[in-house]
Structures are given as structure tokens and as C-alpha cells.
Amino acid sequence: MRFDYKTFHIDCRARHDEDGRYYARATITEAPPAGRAHGETHDSGELDAFPNESDALHCARAWALEWCDEIIT
């Protein structure tokens, strides 16, 4: 799941492990400031494990939105 939020590009993923669980993860890239080619990137690491992909993606999305809101305020 990829989307933009405020000045950030967010990529949420759910890694399916051999244990049958889905592990939530998000990568957040901030838009580059003027004069720079690349923005800063922050990776959540594995957030938590879930029995299905949908729940893992929801967790990654919620975490990413909260992280972005905290950075901007």
C-alpha cells in the first residue's frame, strides 16, 4: 500500500513469514527540501505480527500516519 500524506510518501508492507503470520512494516520518505535530490527516509522496522495481511497493513498505515503527525507538530 503506497500513498502520500502531507509532505510524506508512505509505503506500507506486510511480510508473510513461514510461521503463517504477517509482519507489518512502513517506510516513510519526506519530500526533499528545495535544492536537494532526495528526502530523508525513516523505516519502522517490524511493528507487530498479525494473522492476516489486512490487519498488518492497517497497523503499518496507522503507525505511519501517527509518526508523520508527530514530526510535523
Q: How many domains does the chain have?
A: 1
Confidence of residue 37 (pLDDT cuts 50, 70, 90): confident
Share of the chain above pLDDT 70, in %: 99
Mean pLDDT, range 12-38, rounded to an integer: 91
30: nearest Cα among 71, 66, 2: 71
2: nearest Cα among 67, 73, 64, 69: 64
Q: For 9-24, what is each residue's pLDDT tens digit? A: 999 999 999 999 999 9
Which domain covers residue 27, as residue numbers? 2-72
Tell me, what's the pLDDT at 2? 96
